[in-house]
Every structure is written in C-alpha cells, then in structure tokens.
Structure 1
Amino acid sequence: MSIDTLSEEVLNRLSLMLDNATCGWRQLASAVSEVPKFRCSEIDLTNCSLQVLKPEGSSGRTLLAWLADRSCSLDFLLHCLRKMDHQEAVQYLTPTAVAETIQIQVQPQAQQATVGSRVVLTCRAIGPPGLNYQWFRGNEEPQSQAISEGDTLLLECKAEANPPAQYEWYHDTVIISQQKTHSLKIPCVTTAHRGQYRCKVFNLYHKCWSDTATVTIDVQMPDGQKVDSLNIRPQEVTDQPLLAKRFYATDKVALLIGNMNYLYHTQLCAPIADVHELTNLLRQMDFKVVSLLDLNWQEMHSAVTEFLLLLDKGVYGLLYFAGHGYENYGNSFMVPIDAPASYTSEHCLCVQNILTRMQQKETGLNIFLLDMCRKRNPNDDIIVQPGQLKVTANIVFGYATCVDAEAYEVKREDVSNGIFISFLKRRVCEDEKVTVMLDRVAEDMGRCEITRGRQALELRSNLSERRALTDQIQASECSASYSARNLQWAVAHVLPKSHYIKFDCGVTVQLGFAAEFSNIMVIYTRILEKPKEIISCSAQLTDFPEDVDIDLKKSNQETLLEAGSLLLIKENLPSPEDPSLYTRIRSLQRLRRELSFTVCLHYTYSSMDEEIQERQPVTVGKPLVSKLNLHEPRPPRAWSGSSSLGLDSFNVPECSSFAECSTSVGSLSNTWSCDVKIGRDFSTTDSPSSSRSVNIPEETDSPELINAPKPLVVSKSLPLSRVNDSNYKFSDLYN
C-alpha cells in the first residue's frame, strides 16, 4: 500500500505533525535515506525548506508528495517514523493504515422476524492478519428524558478508544465541571437543569460528540398536578457545542533581534539559539519572521522601521528582543551592541515608543517578548515620555524577569538557551489565548529550582479577547496589503541561486548558499567535476568586502561546526559523501553594495608536485536582509524634545521601501534590484543621530559603576529535558 492511497485529510494531519524542527520532516528525510531511491538531493531538501515562504506552504506535505511520487509504501513510512521516535504520527497513522486495508465484503442486512424465531446477521471482511469483529446493538448515546422536579437525572455515553477515552459533559453548550466519566448523574433536579445535553469523547488523537439529549422537567403543583415545563424547541444539531468566538489575523509578522557581541559590555551566548528556535516555532504558526543578530543603534532603528511597514489593520505584530536591557520609570530599553559603557536612553531603543507606532497601524494584537534584564540604569536620569497609547485592549508584554531583576542563561558546552526561551518553546505553539499560554510558562519557570527566587516571568496585558498566536490568517479583506507584505518579507529572505563555475583546467565548482538567520549566510563550495589527471583539488573563498563580518580563521572549513555554524543542520547542505568547504558570513545588514568575492581553486596534477591556483571573481547580488540597507538612516520627522530616542525621530512612510524594487511579485531570484531610497534625500543634520552614525563610547566617574558588583558568569544551552536537573547550580548562571 503506497502513501498516495492516503486520504487528503490524513495527509494534511500528518503534514502538521511533520512541520516542526525537533522531530519533523528533516528527520524523516534522513530516516528514509536508508533506501537509495528515497534519498533526497540538496535541491529536494531546499525545495521543501522554501515552502515556508508560501502562505499555506508545508515542508512536510512537500516531502510526503515527493515520497509518494517514488511509490514509498505506508509500511516503510511507519518504519521510518518509528525509527525517528515520532510516537504521535505512528499512533495516528497505524489505525489509518489498518482502516485503509480492511474491506467489508458482506454487510448485515435488515430482517423481519417473529418472537421466538432465529435471526442471523452476517458480516464478512478481508484485511490484515488477526482481523476481529465486534457487534453493536443500538446506539450507546444519551437519550432524551422527561422527569419531574426532585427526580434523579442519569445520562450515559460509552465509547471505546485507544488510548482510553475521556469524557466532558455540556449543558446548553456550557461545560459541566467535575463531570469526567461516561455517566452524568444529577440528583434532585430542578427546572434549572432542563435543556440540551451533549457529551464530548476524546483522547490524545481524536474527538467526537454524542447526539443531543433534550431533558424536560415537569413542575409539581401544590394540588398534586403536573405542569409541563416550558416548551423548548430543540436546537439544530451541530458538530460541536457553540464555542467562544474565533478570532483571525489579517496577517502575522514578527521581528526577532538577538544581540550578543557587545563592543563595551559583557558578551552573551544564548540569543543566537533563542532567536533561531523562536523563529522556527513562529514560522510553524504562519508568522513572517525577520531574525537578526548583533545590530547597532542605526540598524536596530532601521529594522524596527521596516517592521512597522509590515503592519496594517488587524495584523498580529510580535517583537522579541534578547540582549542587554534595562527599565527606568516604567519604560523598557533595548541596548544595541555599540552602546557605550555609560549608555543612556539616547543610545538605546524605547519599547514603549515602538508600541505607540504599532498602535497607529491599528494592529489586531501587539506582542512584546523581552528577554533582558530590567535593572535600573544609574547613568540615565532622563524620564522618557512615549507617545500616548490608545485604549485598544490588544497589548501583551511578556518580560523574562521581574522589575529590577536580572535574566539568566545556563552554561552548556554547545549552544545556549536563556531561561525564558527554555520554557517558552514548549508552550508557544499551544492553541490558547496568549496570556493563558504565558501564564503556563510562568508556572513552569516557577517550578525550576535554579531560578526560583531569582528570575520569574512577568506578564502585563490589557488583552480582552481570546487571541492566540495560532489564530488563522484571513486576508480576504486586505488582499492587496497581504500580497505586499508577502513580497516585502520574501525579498529579505532570498538567497542567491547556486553558481556553477568552470575553470580552465576542466574543474567545475558549485557554490551553494544557506541562510542561518536573516543576516547570516553560509556559503559552501564543492567540486562537481575534475579531470582524472588532477589528484587533489579544493575551492576556497577569499577577498570578501570589508562591510561583512567573516572570521578568517573559520572560513573554508570542512564542517559547519568548524565554520562557526552551530544551528544549521547538514540536511540543508550537501551530503557528507560530497566533501565541501564552508564559510559563514555575518552582518549582511551592513553590506553597502553587491556581495563580491573570489573563488580560488587549488589543485595538483599527478605528474607534478607543485600546487597550481586559478582564481575567478564572483558577484552574487545582495542576499537576504542586505537588500533593506539597514545601515542607512530612515527619514526623520518632527523632533520631540521630551524624548531623545525612539521612533518618534522617524517618519515611517505608509508605503514600503520596496516600492522601487525593479522586479515582479512572482520572481524571487537573486536578480532583485532594490535600492531603498524613498525619502532618503534629506540632511542628516536634522536627525538626532546625525552626530553619530555609530555610538561613541563615553566614560564616567560614577561611583555606582565603579563599585557595582560583578555580573554573574554563565551561558550555554539548557536542554528542554533537563530544565529541572538538580545538577545545575546557581553558580552556573550567566546574567
């Protein structure tokens, strides 16, 4: 039985289970590769990965379709799912596979019989070995009843399921608390108990609803007569009880910033993993995510400005920041990597100012997740006055720690996670109101011994509606805006196409590209063809522009780990059988022109001992976020003397800076030509940042700083399964 025999509903459900980073389609692609014909090529994996760029794209569904085209059997798929320990998919698919293979050949027929005579009903089926039959008489459903006041009401609903079924009873669509068994018993009923009753039966994988049972209550009059209760018309039977109103977003966009490599402050380790994991989780919920590492003051301002351009009426906007921060007079400030040692609000971004600008877009939900310290800054006595907030009842703040407290990382040998993300990542995809989800995160953090009494999640919210991160997108009313946002987001995530370079000696070299973040890219080189007389050959990259950040000691390495990439997995890149050299390019947001470099081919002939070199220049355009020119100031607006920072210094245009892109919506190749020029012809002397495109370090003799206690030292990833590991000590924490 092949995968292509599965129903559309089964494939969609299975795809959802595979669209995750920890045990998903990438792991399945690796598992099926034990059979050569199911081994995915680099192009196949890239095609699956790029499905996240589509509004309704699914990487898991694309992989399943690819396997179906190669006649992959359902048994082999189940074998691979068991191999990767995907219990949910195995349990879901096993009964589906059995159901697909069972065929009933003879159905029971209706019969008429006299009392005392013999009745024979026949059912015959074919299927897998061990096929069993089970007969049912009637429906084990709640039955409508008419009883009197003071009587006992008993309703029953029975179901068989594996795992065992659980029960919930509803009275007129309202759940009856404390009723969790197959029977509902109410002693001494009154007229308040009349109405319609239904039972929901569910387990981990399925749910169903019983038929509706209407209960009428007869009222006993003083003279002993009975009076029928009010005549209640039965409601139309629906698939489920009336639920709370479901809300929708016109779109969902997120800006994630992780600052680690500070010029004048303690280096951090966790933001790289925190931003990476949250990016993957948000994309599973259809968020358009821009993820950026290590931004200076100008780049952070420009990134927020571009983020604001993605917002519109009804859009869900989420901003996450991991790095150094502080809180003064109720305002939160995010610290860029170039902030001087004695920074003030002038050198930072005020979160409340960003919120004011977001509200002007009439967003449906504004979410801020701030993974930073909230200690007071003794150098900053300025009281910032953000713009007046609207009464919108759609704001949610999730602070990783409390006021005047610090946030921590946990030291590990590999990639680090902050405490906040360690707990958030197991809850963030729950289909719950945002505040309910964050409350559960707070409860989880409260049970962690290493941070109890030191770090606790604080939630601030005025959210009055049941809005969740998992809410679906309905863009019909704003289709033009939705398409524009898709284009804006996609253009900042376009990788160069693979290059194939032919050298005079007959060697062909492939250049491939993979994105680690929106501003970090890995380039790999591998030899595709070489003449037999060449015995050794390698292609190395050199002569990169000064704009981008490259660790020369880690360039042209044989493994991703040696190249400094801790997060990319090999499924994104060539298979291990094809030797490759990897080079990691950071800070693409600072690239001022097209990315150019040189491919240097080193090779040796069998008849010669001396190594020969050939060089070819390559230009690959402006990859990923470099198209946004975040290094450039955005247009200023009237300067507010009450605040020396924030986005009030920018006149955010209502149109996108991509309006001048010489391209079509359907093209996402590396031929995009985007010069962000709208409103840029202005005098920089009008900008509050005109005196410093990069922050100038400032020294101080403040005794508070000189005598300040040293920050705790720590950093590195906290695996989810070991959050409460008693081996961790407070001395393992980094501030």
Structure 2
Amino acid sequence: MEEGKMAIGTLSEEVLNRLSKMLDNPTCGWRQLAKVLSEHPRFQCSEAELTSCSLQVLSAAGSPGRTLLALLADRSCPLDFLIHGLRKVDHQEAVQYLTTLAGETIRITMQPQSQQATMGSRVVLTCRATGPPGLCYQWFRGREEMGCTPELVLCPLASAHVGHYICRVNHGENCTFSQWAQVHLVHSAGSSCSSLFPGSASGLRIICQPQSQTLSEGNSLTMECKAEANPPAQYRWYSNMVEMPEHKTNLLKIPCVTTAHRGLYSCKVFNIYHEAWSDTAKVDIGETHTHHFYVPSTDKVALLIGNMNYLYHNQLCAPIADVHELANLLRQMDFKVVSLLDLNCQEMHSAVTEFLMLLDKGVYGLLYFAGHGYENYGNSFMVPIDAPASYTSEHCLCVQNILTRMQQKETGLNVFLLDMCRKRNPNDDVIVRPGLLKVTANIVFGYATCVDAEAYEVKESNDVSNGIFINFLKKRICEDEKVTVMLDRVAEDMGHCVITRGRQALELRSNLSERRSLTDQIQDAECSASFSARNLQWAVAHVLPKSKYLQFDCGVTVQLGFAAEFSNVMVIYTRILEKPKEIVSCSAQLTDFPQVINLKKSNQETLPEAGCLLLFSENLSSPEVPRLYTRICSLQRLRRELTFTVCLHYTYCNMDEEVEERKPVTVGKPLVSKLNLHEPQQPPVCSASASSSFSPDPFDVPECSYFSEGFPSVESDTSHTPLYDAQAGRESPVSMGSSRSTNIPEETDSPDYFDHPTPLVGRKSLPHSQVHDTNYKFSDMYNLHFH
C-alpha cells in the first residue's frame, strides 16, 4: 500500500459496523462488492470464504458484510479501492459515508526522517498530512515545543538541537502523531578521536588469570582476575557461561560450595572502549560424605501433573501448590523435573511419552499425579481435565500400563505417587489388562488413600494450601532413607492427624528389596552418552526466553523479563528502565496474545493479582522497581512461536493527549511448548521397545526420538542456549543439579499441623466447602528454583 493511503484495517469498529449494515442487503450489498473487487487478484475471495460470509446469517449477531470487510482488511485493502468498488455497484450511501469520513481523517503523507549533520549546518525536518482544511502542525523535542509549520528548520545546528523530534498534526479535537526522527551531531572529517572521546583508552590487559581448583563441599572458593585499563576496568563473573550478577569485582568469593558449584568459571573484563575475557578455570567439588548404604542410579527424572480446572467435574485447589512444592523438593535431590498443570487427554498421553523417553537402564523414574482418579479391578486411572461427565478407561490413563512401559526401559526404581481418589467408577465395566509385569524388585506405589476411599484437600479462601498427602510427604521426602521407610513414616504422621483419622490413610505397595532412596547420588553421569541425551531432552522443555530490552522512539527503554512457575506456566513482567525526564507518566502493557494461551489476567501490578501465588517479586531482579505482570498458562497448546505486542503508553508534561507506541515481540516457543504435547506423537524412528500389547489402553503410542523432528540440536540447546533464570535476571546452565540447602521445607511435627479438628473437602470427588484452618498452610517458598 502506498504511503499516505488509508487502509480498511485502520477504520474504527464503529465505522466498520455501520458500513457492514449498509452492505448486508441482497441487491446492492457485500456479494456484489466482492465480485467487483475480485477484479484485483489480491482481493479475490474463494468460494469457501464467500460461503463463510453467507453462513453468518445463521447467527443472531452475524454479519456477512462485516466478515467480508475483515477479509479485505487482512489483505491490506486500501480505502480508496473499497470506495472504487462501491461506486461500481452504485452504493451511493456507502460511497458518501466513506468519502466524508476520508475527508475528515488526518493522514500523514510525509514522515520526518532522522538526520545527522555537522555543527553549524542546516537541518530541515518535514511532516506533511492530508485531511480537513486548516490542519495545524506542532513540533516537539521532548516537552519543548519547537515550531508550528510543516517544516522545522534547525539552523545553525548546535549541540542543543540533538535529540528526538515528533510532530503532532491536529484539527480541532482530532489529531495524529508522526513517527519519531532523531537528529545526530557528527564531527567533521578533521576532528580527532581525542576531541570526541577525551581521555581515550590506552588499552586493557589482564595481568592475573583465575586458576582451576579442586575443593570439597563446605570449602570456600576464591578466584581472582585483575586487569590494567584506562579507564578502570569493570568485572563480570560467569559460571558455565551464565552470568553471576552478584559478583562484580575482581575477586570471586563463595564461602560454602556444594556440588552445584562444579563447572567452568571465567571473567569478562571491560570498560567503555575495550572488552576481554579471562582464561577459563575449572572447579571440581568432591563429596564430603558417602551414604552408608549406597545404591547407584544413572539418573533421576520426575513427571508431576496437577489437574485442577476440570471441564465437567469439581474444580480442585491444592494441586497447584502440591506440584510446585514437590518439584522444588525433588530438584534438591538432583531430579530432572517436568511439572505440568491442567492437561487434557492428548496432552497427558504426550507428556507421559516424553517422560518415558527420559528413562533408561538404571534411571530412577518418579510419576506424581494430583487430580480426579478412580480404581477398577486393581488398575488406577488418572482423569484428564477434558474427560466427559461419565468417563471410562477410554478417556483416562492407566497407571499400570505406564509401569509396564517403564519396565521396558530397565529402570532402577519406579515410584508412583498417586494423590487421587480410588473409588470404583460405576460407569466403567471394561476390564483393562495391562501387559505382563516383569519380576523385578524396584516398584513402589504410594497411594494418598486406601482402596475404595476418597483423597482430600483443605480449601482455603485466602491462601494456597497443600493437599493432605503432600502436606505430610514434604516433611519426609528428602530424608536419606529407603523409599518405603520414608513413606511408612509419612503414613504414621497421617495416622496421628485428628482430621484425617478414619477418612484418609496412605497405602504403600512395594516389591522393593534393595535399599533405594530418592537421595541416592547419580553415578558416572558425566561420562554417560545417554545421560547427555536425557539432559538435552529435559532441557528442551525448560528453556525460557532471554530478557529483552526494547528501545522505543520516544527514548523509553522497556525490559521484558521471564520466569517459570511450572513447565507450562510462565510469567512475563515489564518494567521501565529509562525514560526522558519530559515524560511524566509511562507504562508498558502486553496484548495480542494467541487465543490458545490461557490468559485470565494481564498487566497486573502484583503477582497475586496476575493469578501467580507461588512466585514472589522479591525473587526477581530489582524488586523495588515498579513493573506489570502477566501470567501465561497452557503453554503446551502453543502451536507456533509465541508472539505478542508491547504497547507503550506515555504522556508529556505539557500535553494532555496520551501517546502510544507499539512493538511486536516474538520469543520463540518457551518451556514445554517445544514438545508439541497437543499433537499425537508418531515420529518416524522408533525404538525396538516401542511394540506393546496394551490393546485396551489408548495411551499405547510408540516411544521415539524427537530430535529428528524439529527439536534443537545439542549445540543449539545446551552448549550455546543455556536455560534462563529470568527471575534473577541471569542464565543458568542446563544441568539441573541444585543444593539441598536451598528451599528447606518447614520442619514441624505432624500433629502440630492439626491442633483442632477441621472439616475436610473431598479433594477428588466431593463438593468443596469453605474451611478456616490457619495451621494448614503451604510452606513459605523463600528460595525458589526456576527452570
């Protein structure tokens, strides 16, 4: 479209609705207009599109004319061409309406252009517009009004003229703004470098390099990097190519190291003229203790699913807290954790398939599910959020089938923690026959309740609380004990609780004969090719976009930060980093998100207002800086790259009108969206173990490698694209190991949680009711780990 021409897409909703009413008639309307406009190939409508327009009459609010205008707007049809078509079909009313409208609309036909010139020269900025007679022009540099003609002349050019300029064209109450133009001052050819940069650098040279070290857990780490530079150098330390923002001096000091501090360290040295990198130093951290009963594992992976927002069943409250807290505790024990909320049937199938791909010989696999469930004929079924009211095994996932497939991987330990009801489902008479289980000694089932019983949660109106099972489990799960011993202690704690006695009791089923603990160390992980492959596959689902810095024409700089609450839930925050002093009010808001994204609230001033109850602004970088938060759920349904728009609204101190600038942003496919869980997973290359005899179970999908189907290579996702800890404003390595000293759960004796009997809420099938048990709280997550 030629510059200055008005497009249909720029018309207001009011104008489009009025025009569509004029076109919704059979004799001189939208169909005749579509035929005339089809003379231009670009605006030709297909039969399917015309049929879509016709079908709008079946809806009370439908409009064929409005649908046609939307199609034309998508193709950037100029308003002049639309008027031309209306004249050909002799629609005089519409022609007169649009002609009058076009005459009253102010359109910029010549935008001012940025320029650079030498001191004392002549610079002319030009802005021209069309519209009603008597247009007025106003030029501004910041808050200062500079002129009132279409041409702004700066002569002789001086340093005071440097800056951003904008022109406002107005007629009465109607106005529009030009684009920004910047005036640069450049020095003449004879100017010396010293005149541009007084005190220019004499160089930068590193004279002391950091040295490799071998330490034990609990030791202190000290590294030094020193440079000679003019101006003086600044320092930034990096661990495994991830910036450590708290270390900004030439000395790196960590008073108490753990195995999480293993890796490669380097220092970036820089000033305004030069930049240099130190040598890379390797830090090895040895263990200060060994387990008395050591049971090796080749890796540890966990899939946590919490279903709350059911379409046809009671809504649940506790799974969000249960999954979040359990994920943090498992990470302390070096588990690779994928945590997901609110999955439909297809997404649950795909998520379990991805989980199975992470398993291998000797790997510890843990599956936790919180949501509605049932048990028929000894088989347990997890219910997706889209299961119909009278669901059967056809709509659910059979846990025993998953166990059979896990055994095919020769896993070292299989742990199932099922936080759901085990009542019989009267609608399901099908007897599911899973594949035969191997005779192994490595299976543990921890049921939150007994056979034919309910599992419960306590619903609180003003806080996030755990379900009964996780509230007791979280105090024991990190104990260095055999899994069955740990779960037995959880069962004893639950038995001492007054409000659960006689209602809910943990049931443990196990054939575990070896001393296997969730705290077991991973053996020879660094030299295992399969470990590296699993590391990559896990990392694919946990990559956050890097923080973005957007520079707007008015001189405002906006930061976009990202934090992961779950593997499929992300928080985006915007904050103003810099703004000219002439701007008195300024905010950056996000809009235009894809429809598949679950976005209940956006651009909120606090995380709780955005629906985020488990992250805290204090954990984000610079918490004192005002910002707006947007919480995005259901990332697993994102089919394309995540795109949205940043709208900057600002006001100058001498202007009443609010100015808006918009910038589109694309951040790729964050977190679990890369795995395409919304699609049936049928890759071309399958493992030999993919065959199965689970005919009654719709979950029976072959397991395959997805690296050949558009997944990033090892180089792109692990070596050069480390995971991003957006809350701390830094990157973090692909390795998921973390110190056990972080995120310590509350250590309170079990009976103290329930000093007074409290009415329970049926967690999975009974109606909710309000209770007020102030002792029953979700523990403070004061030191969060992010994906």
TM-score by length of 2: 0.57
What is the distance in 2 between the residues matched to 1:623 and 1:450? Answer: 42
Q: 1:262 aligns with which of 298, 310, 319?
A: 310
Per-residue CA deviation, residues 183-239 of structure 1 (Å, 9 max, x unaligned), is: xxxxxxxxxxxxxxxxxxxxxxxxx9xxxxxxxxxxxxxxxxxxxxxxxxxxxxxx9
What is the distance in 2 between the residues matched to 1:247 and 1:259? Answer: 33
Q: Is the 8 A contact 1:372 1:407 kept in 2?
A: yes
Alignment of structure 1 residues 440-459 onto 2, 5 Å: 440-459=489-508
**Residue of structure 2 in register with 1:666 after alignment:** 719
The alpha-carbon distance between structure 1 residues 658 and 666, as it changes in their structure 2 partners (threshold 3 A), is: farther
Which amino acid in 2 is paired with 1:733? V
What is the distance in 2 between the residues matched to 1:460 and 1:567? Answer: 32
Q: 1:731 aligns with which of 759, 763, 766?
A: 759
**Residue of structure 1 in register with 2:631 after alignment:** 584
* 1:621 corresponds to 2:673: no
What is the distance in 1 between the residues matched to 2:322 and 2:507? Answer: 18
Cα shift at 1:245? 4.8
SS at match of 1:731: coil
The alpha-carbon distance between structure 1 residues 73 and 619, as it changes in their structure 2 partners (threshold 3 A), is: closer
The alpha-carbon distance between structure 1 residues 459 and 278, as it changes in their structure 2 partners (threshold 3 A), is: same
What is the distance in 2 between the residues matched to 1:477 and 1:71? Answer: 26
**Residue of structure 1 in register with 2:390 after alignment:** 342
**Residue of structure 1 in register with 2:459 after alignment:** 411
Q: 1:507 aligns with which of 553, 556, 574?
A: 556
Per-residue CA deviation, residues 91-138 of structure 1 (Å, 9 max, x unaligned), is: xxxxxxxxxxxxxxxxxxxxxxxxxxxxxxxxxxxxxxxxxxxxxxxx
Q: Is the 8 A contact 1:534 1:606 kept in 2?
A: yes
Alignment of structure 1 residues 495-644 onto 2, 5 Å: 495-551=544-600, 554-635=601-682, 643-644=695-696
SS at match of 1:602: strand
The alpha-carbon distance between structure 1 residues 296 and 718, as it changes in their structure 2 partners (threshold 3 A), is: farther
**Residue of structure 2 in register with 1:231 after alignment:** none
What is the distance in 2 between the residues matched to 1:69 and 1:447? Answer: 55
Q: Is the 8 A contact 1:327 1:374 kept in 2?
A: yes
Per-residue CA deviation, residues 365-398 of structure 1 (Å, 9 max, x unaligned), is: 0000000000000100000000100001110000
The alpha-carbon distance between structure 1 residues 642 and 288, as it changes in their structure 2 partners (threshold 3 A), is: closer
**Residue of structure 2 in register with 1:651 after alignment:** 702
Alignment of structure 1 residues 454-469 onto 2, 5 Å: 454-469=503-518
Cα shift at 1:670? 8.7
* 1:11 corresponds to 2:218: yes
What is the distance in 2 between the residues matched to 1:66 and 1:430? Answer: 33
SS at match of 2:645: strand
What is the distance in 2 between the residues matched to 1:513 and 1:254? Answer: 24
Per-residue CA deviation, residues 117-168 of structure 1 (Å, 9 max, x unaligned), is: xxxxxxxxxxxxxxxxxxxxxxxxxxxxxxxxxxxxxxxxxxxxxxxxxxxx
SS at match of 2:417: strand
SS at match of 1:346: helix
Which amino acid in 2 is paired with 1:617? P
Q: Is the 8 A contact 1:254 1:319 kept in 2?
A: yes
Q: How many corresponding residue pairs?
A: 480
| Unmatched tracts of structure 1, length 5 or more | 15-42, 78-207, 209-238, 672-716
Q: Is the 8 A contact 1:357 1:647 kept in 2?
A: no
**Residue of structure 1 in register with 2:46 after alignment:** none
SS at match of 2:312: coil
What is the distance in 1 between the residues matched to 2:388 and 2:254? Answer: 61
What is the distance in 1 between the residues matched to 2:537 and 2:380? Answer: 28
Cα shift at 1:416? 1.8
Q: Is the 8 A contact 1:516 1:567 kept in 2?
A: yes
The alpha-carbon distance between structure 1 residues 245 and 458, as it changes in their structure 2 partners (threshold 3 A), is: same
What is the distance in 1 between the residues matched to 2:336 and 2:500? Answer: 32
Alignment of structure 1 residues 226-305 onto 2, 5 Å: 245-305=293-353
Cα shift at 1:645? 2.4
**Residue of structure 1 in register with 2:528 after alignment:** 479
Alignment of structure 1 residues 693-712 onto 2, 5 Å: none
Cα shift at 1:572? 3.2
Which amino acid in 1 is paired with 2:697? L
The alpha-carbon distance between structure 1 residues 723 and 615, as it changes in their structure 2 partners (threshold 3 A), is: farther
Cα shift at 1:475? 3.0
Per-residue CA deviation, residues 594-621 of structure 1 (Å, 9 max, x unaligned), is: 0000000010000011111111110000
Q: Is the 8 A contact 1:475 1:482 kept in 2?
A: no
Q: Is the 8 A contact 1:623 1:670 kept in 2?
A: no
Q: Is the 8 A contact 1:491 1:668 kept in 2?
A: no
**Residue of structure 1 in register with 2:485 after alignment:** 436
What is the distance in 2 between the residues matched to 1:532 and 1:248? Answer: 61
What is the distance in 1 between the residues matched to 2:219 and 2:621? Answer: 29
Q: Is the 8 A contact 1:410 1:418 kept in 2?
A: yes
**Residue of structure 1 in register with 2:41 after alignment:** none
SS at match of 1:302: helix
Per-residue CA deviation, residues 320-354 of structure 1 (Å, 9 max, x unaligned), is: 00000000000000000000000000000000000
| Unmatched tracts of structure 2, length 5 or more | 1-210, 222-235, 257-287, 725-744, 764-787
**Residue of structure 2 in register with 1:30 after alignment:** none
* 1:360 corresponds to 2:408: yes
Q: Is the 8 A contact 1:604 1:612 kept in 2?
A: yes
The alpha-carbon distance between structure 1 residues 732 and 401, as it changes in their structure 2 partners (threshold 3 A), is: closer
Higher strand share: 2
**Residue of structure 1 in register with 2:422 after alignment:** 374
Cα shift at 1:727? 5.6
Per-residue CA deviation, residues 395-449 of structure 1 (Å, 9 max, x unaligned), is: 0000000000011111333002000000000000011000000000000000010
Cα shift at 1:533? 0.7
Q: Is the 8 A contact 1:520 1:587 kept in 2?
A: yes
Cα shift at 1:576? 3.3
Percent identical: 72
What is the distance in 2 between the residues matched to 1:477 and 1:569? Answer: 34
SS at match of 1:445: helix
What is the distance in 1 between the residues matched to 2:351 and 2:217? Answer: 41
**Residue of structure 2 in register with 1:705 after alignment:** none
The alpha-carbon distance between structure 1 residues 335 and 723, as it changes in their structure 2 partners (threshold 3 A), is: farther
Alignment of structure 1 residues 708-727 onto 2, 5 Å: 724-726=752-754
Q: Is the 8 A contact 1:264 1:339 kept in 2?
A: yes
Which amino acid in 2 is paired with 1:267? Q
The alpha-carbon distance between structure 1 residues 306 and 389, as it changes in their structure 2 partners (threshold 3 A), is: same
Cα shift at 1:653? 1.9
The alpha-carbon distance between structure 1 residues 651 and 608, as it changes in their structure 2 partners (threshold 3 A), is: same
The alpha-carbon distance between structure 1 residues 657 and 438, as it changes in their structure 2 partners (threshold 3 A), is: farther
Which amino acid in 1 is paired with 2:593? F
**Residue of structure 1 in register with 2:540 after alignment:** 491
SS at match of 1:451: coil
SS at match of 2:518: coil
* 1:393 corresponds to 2:441: yes
Which amino acid in 2 is paired with 1:382? V
The alpha-carbon distance between structure 1 residues 549 and 12, as it changes in their structure 2 partners (threshold 3 A), is: farther
What is the distance in 2 between the residues matched to 1:341 and 1:590? Answer: 23
**Residue of structure 2 in register with 1:332 after alignment:** 380
Alignment of structure 1 residues 116-131 onto 2, 5 Å: none
Cα shift at 1:511? 0.5
Which amino acid in 2 is paired with 1:316? Y
Q: Is the 8 A contact 2:549 2:558 kept in 1?
A: yes
The alpha-carbon distance between structure 1 residues 371 and 531, as it changes in their structure 2 partners (threshold 3 A), is: same
The alpha-carbon distance between structure 1 residues 314 and 646, as it changes in their structure 2 partners (threshold 3 A), is: farther
- Superposed CA RMSD in Å reads 3.4
